[in-house]
Amino acid sequence: MADRRKYVVGITDHMIGTPDLEAEVLGDDVEIDFFASTDETAFAPDRLKRLDALMVWGARIGPKTIVHLSSCKGVVRYGVGYEKIDLAALAGAGIPFANNPDYGTEEVADHALAMILSLHRRLWQHDALARGYRSGWQIHSLKPLSRSNQATVGVVGVGRIGTAVINRLKPFGFRILGYDPVQPPGHEKAIGYERTEELNELLARSDIVTLHCPANGETRGMMNTDGLAKLKPGAIIVNTARGELIDDLDALETALRSGHLAAAGIDTLVKEPPGDHPLLAAWRSREDWLAGRLVITPHNAFYSDHAAAEMRRNAARTVRILLDEGKLRNQVTDKS
């Protein structure tokens, strides 16, 4: 019996077992070449040359890989971000690139809301301090602590996830501001938030700021020393988007130590796992001054069992459409 396989799809790496779900979506006429590595220097040129498409999880993809993708019709990333993908080199080689934005929206929105509510109610700080209470109990209320309907949340980036966050915030009564120059006029009326035309206005008016924008030339480092200084004193910041938005840990530490920043919830960092830094050392050792004020989760806001399967199937479906129709959905161009 003749071999029915006519396409070869490469998968660089995977954090959830073998690519069985991908094989199910791609079909019997696709051979999967699983590299099982995040190190692009380990990708053999002869294997790369065979690929009709390449799926990428956590590996960097640069010129050393791209030069050998001579038969590749497209590169598809499992996730939303693509900081590790050299879009310019892909464009130079005539290879289109797509990310995978339509998964995990509910999970990231839930994660952001959990951080917002818990930091606003000062739950982690209560938990940390209550361990040491030896007298009294209810008298140890933390102040200031406002009602939800007396607090303003600023949402930076009102796309899929930002919109989902706004929809979750509404029942709690928060006043909601949104900043997103990409969204058309009237978007705020359809979704239900107050639009700010300038980021600085949102920062100055918000008690809580939650970030839901991509990392690009305009947004990288947006919440460093200058950005943090523009926040209302005693504000809370939540970042479930990209680590590059808050890439200066010195600035974050200074803002937390001074009290200008009341608390921060972070799911994504520039370096993961994080290395050594005085702020991280204080967080790891639960130093009293920081107790309950800095919450870090290991870049898993996107995750649920359902979202993980959805992500893999959606990415594979994007490749299948490319192979069948020559069309690459969710295509991204270099705008850095």
d(CA 236, CA 255): 11
Instruction: Report the C-alpha dihedral over residues 216, 221, 227, 231, rounded to 10 degrees.
Output: 90
- C-alpha 209 chain-centroid distance: 15
- C-alpha 231 chain-centroid distance: 22
CB neighbour class for 171 (10 Å; exposed up to 12, middle 13-18, buried from 19): exposed
- CA-closest candidate to residue 309, choices 16, 12, 36, 54: 16
Instruction: Report the C-alpha dihedral over residues 124, 125, 127, 129, rounded to 10 degrees.
Output: 160
Tell me phi and psi for residue 319, to 5 degrees: -70, -40
CB neighbour class for 98 (10 Å; exposed up to 12, middle 13-18, buried from 19): buried
- CA-closest candidate to residue 319, choices 81, 16, 27: 27
- Cα–Cα distances in angstroms (integers) from residue 27 to residues 21, 143, 184, in the given order: 10, 59, 39
- The answer to whether residues 74 and 322 touch, using CB atoms and an 8 Å cutoff, is yes
- Partners of residue 98 on adjacent β-strands: 76, 331
Tokens of 109: 């929105």
Strand pairing of 331-332 and 97-98?
Answer: antiparallel
**Would you call 179 helix, strand, or coil by DSSP?**
strand
- The answer to whether residues 76 and 320 touch, using CB atoms and an 8 Å cutoff, is no
Task: Give the residue numbers marked as catalytic.
Answer: 242, 272, 299
